[in-house]
């Protein structure tokens, strides 16, 4: 784990050497990763839009024939939540309201009544033995989670800290739907606040992602932390490649 964190920090040093970036490059990089992150995060949850189709929906406002309406709404919502990441990244704190707003922006087109609000029902997650907390526990669990954020940030490498935020949010599972996407948005907020590029989990790694995440529910965080470090490393390499290209 230490080796890959060193590699990530080495790439970050090279990226930082290019700063400050001109406004054109900032815009180009942000839009490039907007499409990649929106496509991949939605695809991990079963969204049928391809990366090219996601780009068409977001940038051109054109619907894709034969694709579900919900898939289009998820693309548009995630794109809005992505913009919020960069506004929130100007500050170093993360509040409960920030987490709710990330979910709200992603989800309000799909279910306005549930967007940004904690679930009132029990949920069952298929493909795992993990049982999320009862709905009445969620407000206190979220307050405890957010209260520990400054301590988690101070004790861990930024990449590990981002993985911890992801893991803790999906463990609480506060929303009726969209918890995985909210967790990945939150993870990337932490990375941006620390000056790292956003991390994209390719859909091809879905099994590894879910397998390592399931291990965290059984008390083993190492595999998930290493997995997140791996995708951070690859995303950082891609960011540097674009800068140097």
Span 100-107, average pLDDT: 98
Q: For residue 38, what are its two tokens?
A: 């929106």
> pLDDT grade, residue 172 (50/70/90)?
very high
Per-residue pLDDT, 53: 98
Angle between helices 222-244 and 158-172 (to 10 degrees): 120
Residue carrying structure tokens 């940038």: 59
pLDDT at residue 241, as a whole number: 97
| 173 catalytic per annotation | yes
Question: What is Dmax (Cα atoms) for the chain?
Answer: 52
Q: How far apart are CA 17 and CA 134, in angstroms?
A: 48
For the stretch 186-234, pLDDT in tens is 999 999 999 999 999 999 999 999 999 999 999 999 999 999 999 999 9
Inform me whether the pLDDT recorded for 129 exceeds 90: no
User: Catalytic one among 72, 78, 103, 173?
Assistant: 173
Place of tokens 């995440």: 213
pLDDT per residue over 133-160, tens digit each? 999 999 999 999 999 999 999 999 999 9
52-98 pLDDT, tens digit each: 999 999 999 999 999 999 999 999 999 999 999 999 999 999 999 99
**Which CATH code for domain 2-244?**
1.10.3290.10
Q: Looking at residue 8, what is its pLDDT?
A: 98
228's CB contacts (< 8 A; 6+ apart) are: 159, 162, 163, 166, 187, 199
Q: How many residues belong to the chain?
A: 245
Q: Is the dihedral of CA 157, 32, 70, 49 positive or negative?
A: negative
CB atoms within 10 A of CB 239: 21
And the tokens for 182? Answer: 């909210």
| Residue ranges per structural domain of the chain | 2-244
């Amino acid at each position: 784990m230490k080796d890959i964190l060193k590699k990530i920090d080495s790439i970050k040093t090279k990226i930082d050497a290019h700063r400050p970036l001109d406004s054109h490059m900032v815009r180009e990089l942000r839009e490039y990763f907007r499409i990649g992150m929106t496509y991949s995060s939605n695809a991990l949850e079963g969204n049928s839009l391809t990366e090219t189709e996601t780009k068409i929906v977001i940038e051109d406002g054109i619907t894709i024939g034969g694709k579900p309406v919900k898939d289009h709404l998820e693309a548009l919502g995630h794109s809005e939540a992505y913009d919020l990441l960069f506004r929130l990244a100007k500050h170093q704190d993360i509040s409960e309201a920030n987490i709710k707003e990330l979910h709200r922006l992603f989800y309000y087109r799909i279910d306005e009544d549930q967007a940004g609000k904690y679930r009132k029902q029990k949920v069952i997650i298929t493909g795992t033995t993990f049982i999320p907390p009862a709905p009445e526990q969620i407000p206190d669990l979220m307050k405890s989670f957010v209260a520990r954020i400054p301590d988690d940030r101070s004790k861990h490498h930024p990449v590990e800290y981002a993985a911890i935020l992801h893991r803790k949010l999906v463990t609480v599972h506060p929303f009726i739907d969209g918890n995985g996407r909210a967790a990945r948005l939150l993870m990337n907020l932490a990375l941006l606040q620390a000056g790292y590029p956003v991390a994209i989990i390719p859909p091809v790694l879905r099994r590894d992602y879910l397998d390592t995440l399931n291990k965290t529910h059984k008390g083993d965080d190492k595999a998930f932390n290493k997995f997140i470090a791996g995708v951070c490393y690859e995303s950082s390499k891609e960011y540097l490649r674009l800068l140097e290209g």
